[in-house]
Amino acid sequence: MLDWLWVIPALPLAGFVLLVGLRGLPRPVIALIGVGSVGASAALALLAAVRYLSAAGPVVPIRQVLWTWLPLTSFHPTIGLHLDPLSLLMMVVVTFVAFWIHLYSTGYMACDGGYGRFFAYMNLFVGAMLVLVLADNLLLLYLGWEGVGLCSYLLIGFWYTDPANGRAAMKAFIVTRVGDAALAVGLLLLYWHFGTLDIQSIALQAPHVWVSGSGLAIAAAALLLGGAVGKSAQLPLQTWLPDAMAGPTPVSALIHAATMVTAGVYLIARMNAIFELALPVGQVVAVIGAVTLLLAACSALTQTDIKRILAYSTISQIGYMFLALGVGAYSAAMFHFMTHAFFKSLLFLAAGAIILGMHHEQNIFKMGGLWRRMPLTFVTFLAGALSLAALPFVTAGFYSKDLILYETLASQRGSPVLWACGLVGAVLTALYTFRLVFVVFFGPARREPQRGGSARGTAALGCGSFQAQKPEPPAPTHISWTMTLPLVVLAVFAIVAGAVELPKNVYQVTLLSDWLGVVLPAAPQREHLPSLAKVQIIAGAASLAGIVAAWLLYRRFPSAVRVLRLVRPWRQVYRLWQGGWGFDWLYRRLVVEPFVYLARANRRDFIDLFYGAIGESAKLLHAVLSWGQTGKVGWYAACLVIGAIVLITILVLT
Amino acid sequence: MMTRDLLALGPMLITAGGAVVLLLALAVCRSHAFASAWSVLVLAAALAAIPMTWPGAPASGDLLNLLAIDSWALAFWGIIFGSALVVCLLGFEYFRPLAVQAEEFYVLVLLSATGAAVLAAADHFATVFLGLELLSVSLFALAAYRRDQAISIEAGIKYLVLAGTSSALLLFGLALLYFHTASLRLSGLAGPLLAGHPDTIALYAGIALVLVAMGFKLGLAPMHVWTPDVYQGSPAPVSALVGSVSKAGAMAFMVRLAGVTLTGTPGVRNGVFYGLLVLAIASMFTGNLLALRQPNIKRLLAYSSIAHMGYCLLAVLPMAAGAALDRQAVFYYMLAHAVSILGAFGCVCAASENGREAQHVEDYRGLAWRRPVLAGVFSLMLLSLAGIPLTAGFLGKFYVLASGVRNALWLPAVCLVINSGIGLFYYLRVLGTLYQREEAESPDQFATSTAPSALLQPSPQLLLTHLTLAALVVLLIYFGLMPALASLPM
């Protein structure tokens, strides 16, 4: 069954190779390769899902070993794929969302000079993520993991002529690298104790090799967690994500929805066997999730850049997923991953449309009243925003977030404190989301959105022109169907995707947890379960409260915010939140500046003398040996004799 | 001789017969295209015959007195005939624009491949000498093939004199071995060695002299001094032949000899072990250090192959030390080295034009901006020689190193690692040159016809060379990703 599974990751990778290898292709061909490869991959992924789920009998994982790389006596790193409900869900969501983002990009990037380069990197990004998701062993997973990291670097710094973008790309790469180093050490630890990196055999052996709660299990889980917080932008390695907004908007959509940041969530869910043996680390995961979701939500509340608001929102939502993972509710985390992929990609793509419409204006306070001018963008953005704010019973986001909040209370590993954090986070989420909606779409128009070719010239091409002073990417001046169709499709999914898993008191649909239950353990429940309906009502009230608060603050009494910002302690809190709680400042002081200082101070250190001496002695030896290459046959023959003498001497003496 | 003997000899008979037929045909009608096509066909047929013969000859027959056609020999025949095939393909477009008669080139390539094949399967002192001489005589004619160039003739004469000297040493060594063991068969040596004759100086000197002769062919230090001159002077396809076919034959025999000495007294075993150890370490350092600042690309590749043979010996050492044999590692290393060195010289062929070889590293400056695909292929070959992952060269080096580490041969293993570092320097130096942009040229530079930019223009006449290079790239990546051949039983 599904012998062609390898085609799914191979297609985007082939697209990458084609786009890199064949330069100077016309744009329609680039779009066809770039979008077509991911589209075909998405279609095949859906087909694989249908075939896999409609197969008779119990759900069994499919393992497909393509070949063995480096067969050694004790180490057989296979290039193999593993398909079970967990990787199936990831695969389908990744390819599906990525396809719409790619389609959208054909419109968004239509006038960019680096069109082919953009699609090459995007294809590689999707291919690497699919390798990560489908890998049957941790070595291959690590390959995908690093591939994703590389692509994030390439795409965040896509407009590399601006040094700030290059810096943001390096920041993302270096900060996630800290986590990657922990992950690599974790892999070595696992290999050391299990003698294999095969995920399934580690999961099988783990309970026999390590006692629950033993030091090694905790170390391994903590190291894996280190990798996960780096990639998923959780505390304390979350600082790279807001800066990652330097890339083109479709890249942000891809990083936040389908690839990269969800890799950490997937890693923890995939390695749940290790985390189940290290419950203290599970507690840490939950606490990290809870704290991160609160901190990021506060920061989101104070940002003025539309993309940074969404970036902090992603950190916060991933925090919810970590919270769920930490309390053992793996299915709930994956459920929220799925709904989040839909509404967050939608929000970013709609934001991209707004940014294009406002001609690269990203400050929300320079927008306003856009609902009349961009009705379709408004409707779709609203759908995403409602889902993010978890409007009760209507949106997908509500069902997934409600499940996480419920599990936080119901699981033995959860606690009311964690639940309260999640609840406060829900209020804040609704607040910052609708602050965005009200400021951008309602109120007076503060600046006219661009229309048509207008005065900017080059209208015939449908492209805007470069501004002289600031290197600003040229942008299309009208929004084509390739950009609106993805918005509509994703908006529909952002609303209805929750139907795969409904609360028990609403309707008995548990498709997702049934599928995932095969591979993911359910959270151990408390004896006295809290009332489902009560929890739901509280959660629903929380998001409604947030929306109402946003309406009061930003529509009804906008002056209140202005007054509030004049109050001294509040102003300082505001600045703290706006700067992302000062983590950047802290890391600069603690890590970057001492490091730079040491490097400066040690510029001419004596250790270099040693390496310099190696180089110089190599040069010297080169000169000496070259002197032996005389070109004289007599000397050459003498060398033969010298060799004979040396060998005879050795043989006789030993 | 029985039919099955003939069948086992098949691949070698095809090349030998092919050479004779070609020689006769050329007496009647001279045609470059025919000679080239015929030799390619012959070598392809020989390659195709190898799987039919696998896994070797039956356990009896007259044949076995002279040749041991086992899976080891057959695997090396694969390398030898495959490499010769590539050399013929490269040679066609290399010689076409030249004013020399190119037809005999193919006869000589076929003969040298046959010689190397005999050497790889030799189990008798007579066949050892026969194979080695067939190989050497063809090679010095090939090295001097460009009679229009003094340097080519010089290379041929140097090779003639030195190969003659080394043959003399070999013959003397074989005689001393016969004197000690009263056996002319290589595998027959094992009995007398085991029987516990007291070791004599004649035995030690015999083994040492045979090692010297093989070391000469492999270019091991200190018998390496001839390699750069011959590589530089020979036509580029011939340099490729010296780097692949001749080395594969000699290495196959070297491993056989080391395997036989395993049965000897501790004195013999230790002696061979330490002898090979010294040769290996000396070759690694000498080759890499000499290549460090070498401005001529062909000499650089010669030095590089000295170091590579030193690396490869690391996998031969365990068997000399009496530990488990690691024939697979040696085979895979030689395979990977053949692919990479053929590819590298293929790039030299492709970059050359109008009879002038692009020998100087400076000729390649900015190649990536004029012929990006060729520069990419060259980069891949250099990366494989440097042992960078995803190329065949990496896996070859990895297996060799793994074999050394498994047998706790720490000294040569550490030397290999250090030398990989040194080696990286000059491979990257060439790689960097490929991708450097040329400085803006002043107008008077355009006027001179010998400016590097006038050379190296894309040429439609190099179709066959380009296709060959493409095939080598596929092999390089394939062997780098799927080392299925490394687990052949040997």
The pLDDT confidence band at residue B230, using thresholds 50, 70 and 90, is: very high
Question: Taking CA atoms, what residue in A is nearest to B418?
Answer: A614
Find out whether A78 and A65 touch, Cβ atoms under 8 Å.
yes
The pLDDT confidence band at residue A240, using thresholds 50, 70 and 90, is: confident
Mean pLDDT of A201-206: 84
Q: What is the pLDDT of residue A72?
A: 66
Q: What is the pLDDT of residue A571?
A: 77
Sign, Cα dihedral of B368, B306, B303, B144: negative
Q: How many whole angstroms separate alpha carbon A636 and alpha carbon A572?
A: 82
Distance from CA of A616 to the nearest CA of B (A): 12
Highest mean pLDDT among A55-69, A217-231, A360-374, B280-294: B280-294
Question: Taking CA atoms, what residue in A is nearest to B166?
Answer: A640
Domain regions of chain B by residue span? 3-486
Residues pairing with A135 in the sheet = A81
**Chain-wide mean pLDDT for chain A?**
82
Q: What is the pLDDT of residue A465?
A: 41
- Judged by average pLDDT, the poorest of A30-34, A603-607, A637-641, B24-28 is A603-607
Q: pLDDT per residue over A170-180, tens digit each?
A: 888 888 888 89
Domain contains A468: no
- Which residues does chain B have within 8 Å of residue A621's beta carbon, measured at their own beta carbons? 285, 289
Place of tokens 């580029």: B236
Residue in B272, B264, B205 with CA at minimum distance from that of residue A654: B272
Between CA A7 and CA A10, with CA A9 as vertex, the angle to 5 degrees is: 55
Q: Is A623 a residue whose pLDDT tops 80?
A: yes
Q: How many whole angstroms separate alpha carbon A620 and alpha carbon A614?
A: 10
Q: What is the pLDDT of residue B48?
A: 92
Q: What is the pLDDT of residue A446?
A: 67
Domain contains A438: yes
Q: How many whole angstroms separate alpha carbon B120 and alpha carbon B50?
A: 14
Highest mean pLDDT among A100-114, A579-593, B375-389, B442-456: B375-389
Q: Is B460 a residue whose pLDDT tops 90?
A: no
| Cβ of residue A640 closer than 8 Å to a chain B Cβ | yes
Q: Is B478 a residue whose pLDDT tops 70?
A: yes
Distance, first Cα to last Cα, chain A: 63
Place of tokens 């004289």: A632
In A160-269, at which residue ranges do the beta strands (DSSP E only) sit?
none
Q: What is the pLDDT of residue A452?
A: 42
Highest mean pLDDT among A188-202, A546-560, A562-576, B372-386: B372-386
Q: How many whole angstroms separate alpha carbon B313 and alpha carbon B304?
A: 14
Q: pLDDT per residue over A387-401, tens digit each?
A: 888 887 778 888 888
Q: What is the pLDDT of residue B241?
A: 94
Distance, first Cα to last Cα, chain B: 25
Place of tokens 């004049």: A566
- Which residues does chain B have within 8 Å of residue A651's beta carbon, measured at their own beta carbons? 204-205, 207-208, 268, 271-272, 275
Residues pairing with A65 in the sheet = A80
Count: domains in chain A: 2
SS3 A503: coil
Question: Taking CA atoms, what residue in A is nearest to B173?
Answer: A644
Q: Which residues contact A206 (CB under 8 A, 6 or more apart)?
A: A194, A217, A273, A274, A277
Domain contains A530: no
Mean pLDDT of B283-301: 92
Q: What is the pLDDT of residue B58?
A: 56
Q: How many whole angstroms separate alpha carbon B99 and alpha carbon B79?
A: 31
Q: How many whole angstroms separate alpha carbon B385 and alpha carbon B402?
A: 18
Domain contains A635: yes
Q: What is the pLDDT of residue B236?
A: 92
Same domain, A142 and A232: yes
Cα separation values, B42 from A236, B5, B21, B335, Å: 67, 20, 10, 21
Q: How many whole angstroms separate alpha carbon B415 and alpha carbon A288?
A: 48
Find the domain containing A619 and state its range. Answer: 604-653
The pLDDT confidence band at residue B88, using thresholds 50, 70 and 90, is: very high
Q: What is the pLDDT of residue B289?
A: 92
Q: What is the pLDDT of residue A469?
A: 37
Q: What is the pLDDT of residue A581?
A: 80
Q: What number of residues does chain B have?
A: 490
Mean pLDDT of B112-117: 95
Q: What is the pLDDT of residue A164?
A: 83
Scored b (16 or more CB within 10 A) or e, A351-366 reads: bbbbbbbbbebbebee
Mean pLDDT of A457-480: 46
- Which residues does chain B have within 8 Å of residue A626's beta carbon, measured at their own beta carbons? 290
Find out whether A449 and A374 touch, Cβ atoms under 8 Å.
yes
Q: Would you call the peptide bond into B55 cis, given omega within 30 degrees of 0 as the criterion? A: yes
Q: pLDDT per residue over A116-162, tens digit each?
A: 888 889 899 999 999 999 888 888 899 899 888 888 888 888 888 88
Q: How many whole angstroms separate alpha carbon A186 and alpha carbon A179?
A: 11
- What are the structure tokens assigned to B181, written together? 């063991």
Q: How many whole angstroms separate alpha carbon A361 and alpha carbon A466?
A: 15
Same domain, A427 and A556: yes
The pLDDT confidence band at residue A76, using thresholds 50, 70 and 90, is: confident
Interface test with A, best of B140, B212, B304 (most A CBs within 10 A): B212
Q: How many whole angstroms separate alpha carbon B486 and alpha carbon B333?
A: 9
Q: What number of residues does chain A have?
A: 654
- What are the structure tokens assigned to A435, written together? 């602050």
Mean pLDDT of B335-346: 94
Type and span of the H or E element at A81:
strand A78-83
Q: Check A643 against B215: CB less than 8 A apart.
A: yes
Q: Is A503 a residue whose pLDDT tops 90?
A: no
Domain contains A69: yes
Residue in A248, A210, A231, A197 with CA at minimum distance from that of residue A79: A197
The pLDDT confidence band at residue B452, using thresholds 50, 70 and 90, is: very low
Find out whether A8 and A135 touch, Cβ atoms under 8 Å.
no
- Judged by average pLDDT, the poorest of A358-362, B437-441, B452-456 is B452-456
Highest mean pLDDT among A214-223, B261-270, B298-307: B298-307
Better-predicted residue by pLDDT, A230 or B448: A230
- Which residues does chain A have within 8 Å of residue B226's beta carbon, measured at their own beta carbons? 636
Q: Check B486 against A635: CB less than 8 A apart.
A: no
Q: How many whole angstroms separate alpha carbon B216 and alpha carbon B361?
A: 27
Domain contains A409: yes
Quickly count: other Cβ atoms within 10 Å of residue A49's Cβ.
18
Q: Check A625 against B398: CB less than 8 A apart.
A: no
Find out whether A279 and A212 touch, Cβ atoms under 8 Å.
yes
Residue in B113, B106, B112, B37 with CA at minimum distance from that of residue B81: B113
- Would you say the pTM of this structure is higher than 0.80? no
Sequence-ordered alpha helix ranges (H) in B96-124: 103-121
Scored b (16 or more CB within 10 A) or e, B342-359 reads: bbbbbbbbbbbbeeebbb
Same domain, A237 and A340: yes
Q: Check A654 against B481: CB less than 8 A apart.
A: no
- Judged by average pLDDT, the poorest of A359-373, B23-37, B334-348 is A359-373
Domain contains A592: no
Helices (H) and strands (E) in chain A, counts: 28, 2
Q: Is B435 a residue whose pLDDT tops 60?
A: yes
Q: What is the pLDDT of residue A467?
A: 38
Find out whether B77 and B100 touch, Cβ atoms under 8 Å.
no
Rg (C-alpha) for chain B, rounded Å, is 22
Q: Is A457 a residue whose pLDDT tops 60?
A: no
Find out whether A364 and A305 touch, Cβ atoms under 8 Å.
yes
Find out whether A434 and A442 touch, Cβ atoms under 8 Å.
no
DSSP secondary structure of A229-271: HHHTT-TTSTTHHHHGGGS-HHHHHIIIIISTHHHHHHHHHHT
Q: Cα-Cα-Cα-Cα dihedral of B434, B437, B439, B445, to 10°? A: 50
Q: Is A349 a residue whose pLDDT tops 50?
A: yes
Mean pLDDT of B252-273: 84
Q: Is A11 a residue whose pLDDT tops 70?
A: yes
Q: How many whole angstroms separate alpha carbon A428 and alpha carbon A434?
A: 10
- Which residues does chain A have within 8 Å of residue B158's beta carbon, measured at their own beta carbons? 633, 636
Q: Check B162 against A635: CB less than 8 A apart.
A: no
Q: What is the pLDDT of residue B62?
A: 64
Q: Which residues contact A130 (CB under 8 A, 6 or more apart)?
A: A8, A9, A12, A41, A91, A94, A95, A144
Q: How many whole angstroms separate alpha carbon A556 and alpha carbon A64?
A: 59
- Which residues does chain B have within 8 Å of residue A628's beta carbon, measured at their own beta carbons? 225
Find out whether A264 and A132 touch, Cβ atoms under 8 Å.
no
**Chain-wide mean pLDDT for chain B?**
86
Mean pLDDT of A481-494: 84
Q: What is the pLDDT of residue B231?
A: 93
Mean pLDDT of A283-303: 88
Mean pLDDT of B305-324: 83
Q: What is the pLDDT of residue A1?
A: 64
Same domain, A403 and A543: yes
Same domain, A141 and A248: yes
Q: What is the pLDDT of residue A468?
A: 35
SS3 B382: helix
Domain contains A235: yes
Q: Is B302 a residue whose pLDDT tops 90?
A: yes
Q: What is the pLDDT of residue A299?
A: 86
Instruction: Write phi, then psi, for A81 (nearest 5 degrees).
Output: -110, 150
Instruction: Write phi, then psi, for A501 (nearest 5 degrees).
Output: -155, 110
Same domain, A169 and A92: yes
Scored b (16 or more CB within 10 A) or e, A161-193 reads: eeeebbebbbbbbebbbbbbebbbbbbeebbeb
- What are the structure tokens assigned to A47, written together? 């087909």
Q: Is B298 a residue whose pLDDT tops 90?
A: yes
Q: Check A646 against B222: CB less than 8 A apart.
A: yes
The pLDDT confidence band at residue A449, using thresholds 50, 70 and 90, is: low
Cα separation values, B183 from B105, B122, B169, B209, Å: 38, 14, 19, 17
